[in-house]
């Protein structure tokens, strides 16, 4: 089993997480206008689950270190399996709302508000789970990121208010709900693992690979409920029939699966990094995906095209504060 055994490598893995978690939504943007987000989301969830299985039977089973996937899941206790599964259910509810907000407001808004809020709350919760890193630096970094979130919301209100009116508050509200929910899933997943020893995990605990598979299973099963509800009672637009999904072209399904695989790669790297960096720093850096997604939204998808000079200044300040906050979070992990 491949594991991360140095803090520097753990930080590098967190940056990969940041890129993956901040980039998967580009797949949704590619099909937006042709394929409703509810339909995209079925394939996205399958992509996460397929990737978790591939990782478990390769990196999670090769070599002499740790327990291979099949042996590990067989010895895991019901409590630890249940925790990882619940983590998948909570994540899925949060992420499907985030995906709706991306569809309605764009990446440059949904991520800074939703995932930025998840970062702030999640860092606090995960630090309570395993207190690794300098708490003062960690929370100063989080404070700067919090300020960045508020500035981004103001910028969106200034820009979106003149184009979409009352829709502004709706999508910011959906993003906030998604962010609060998103902040709570990681402790469930981390609780099922032995964060102190991935090489020889305690009996009953799971390796990151096994935890990821159970987590992904929770996403798949809960999606049958959550996405069905959204298809029948959409947040925006008319209801959608299941038959519409099966009429989609292969290429459009593969884009959704690729989006799930991209997110899954980031998640695996984040779980592997948690052993050395600690869950608070690993999660916090991974959720720096906010910065990546905002960059995609602003510079590639031009979601703030035509905005005023003041709004552009606010967006610049948001990026500066996010970068400063993330840098301080990294420093917090090195000061142990």
The pLDDT value recorded for residue 90 is 96
- Residue numbers in the chain where pLDDT is lower than 50: 161-165
- Non-local CB neighbours of 15 within 8 Å, separated by 6+ positions: 285
Burial 169-197 (b: 16+ CB within 10 A, else e): ebbbebbbbbbbbbbbbbbbbbbbbbbee
Identify the three-state secondary structure at position 200.
coil
pLDDT digits (tens, 9 = 90+) for 83-92: 999 999 999 9
How far from 19 is each of 22, 25, 138, 288, CA to CA, in Å? 5, 11, 21, 8
In a 3-state reduction of DSSP, which class is residue 39? helix
d(CA 30, CA 183): 27
Q: pLDDT tens across 186-227, in order?
A: 889 989 998 888 888 899 999 999 999 999 999 999 999 999
Q: What is the pLDDT of residue 322?
A: 85
The candidate with the shortest Cα–Cα distance to 283, out of 116, 152, 92, 144, is: 116
Helix, strand or coil, per DSSP, at residue 81: helix
pLDDT for 334: 59
Residue pair 294/103 in contact (Cβ under 8 Å)? The answer is: no
**What are the boundaries of each domain within the chain?**
7-334
Alpha carbon 279 to its chain's center: 14
Q: What is the pTM of this model?
A: 0.85
Q: What is the reported pLDDT for 53?
A: 98
């Amino acid at each position: 089993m491949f594991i991360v055994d140095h803090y520097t490598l753990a930080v590098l893995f967190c940056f990969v997480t940041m890129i993956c978690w901040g980039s998967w939504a580009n797949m949704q943007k590619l099909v937006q206008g042709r394929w409703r987000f509810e339909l995209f989301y079925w394939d996205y969830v399958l992509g996460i689950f397929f990737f978790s299985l591939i990782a478990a039977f390769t990196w999670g089973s090769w070599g002499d270190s740790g327990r291979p996937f099949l042996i590990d899941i067989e010895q895991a206790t019901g409590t630890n399996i249940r925790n990882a599964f619940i983590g998948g259910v909570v994540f899925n509810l949060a992420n499907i709302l985030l995906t709706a907000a991306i569809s309605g407001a764009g990446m440059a808004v949904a991520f800074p508000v939703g995932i930025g809020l998840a970062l702030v709350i999640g860092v606090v919760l995960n630090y309570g789970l395993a207190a690794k890193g300098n708490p003062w630096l960690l929370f100063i970094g989080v404070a700067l990121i919090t300020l960045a979130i508020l500035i981004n919301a103001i910028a969106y209100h200034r820009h979106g208010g003149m184009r979409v009116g009352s829709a502004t508050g709706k999508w910011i509200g959906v993003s906030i709900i998604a962010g609060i929910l998103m902040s709570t899933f990681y402790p469930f997943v981390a609780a099922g693992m032995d964060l102190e020893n991935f090489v020889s995990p305690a009996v009953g605990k799971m390796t990151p690979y096994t935890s990821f598979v159970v987590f992904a299973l929770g996403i798949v099963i809960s999606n049958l409920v959550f996405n069905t509800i959204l298809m029948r009672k959409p947040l925006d637009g008319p209801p959608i029939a299941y038959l519409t999904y099966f009429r989609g072209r292969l290429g459009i399904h593969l884009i959704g699966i690729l989006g799930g695989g991209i997110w899954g790669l980031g998640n695996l790297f984040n779980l592997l990094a948690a052993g050395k960096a600690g869950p608070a720093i690993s999660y916090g850096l991974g959720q720096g995906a906010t910065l990546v997604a905002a960059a995609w939204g602003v510079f590639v998808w031009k979601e703030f095209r035509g905005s005023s000079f003041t709004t552009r200044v606010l967006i610049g300040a948001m990026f500066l504060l996010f970068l400063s906050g993330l840098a301080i979070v990294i420093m917090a992990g090195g000061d142990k």
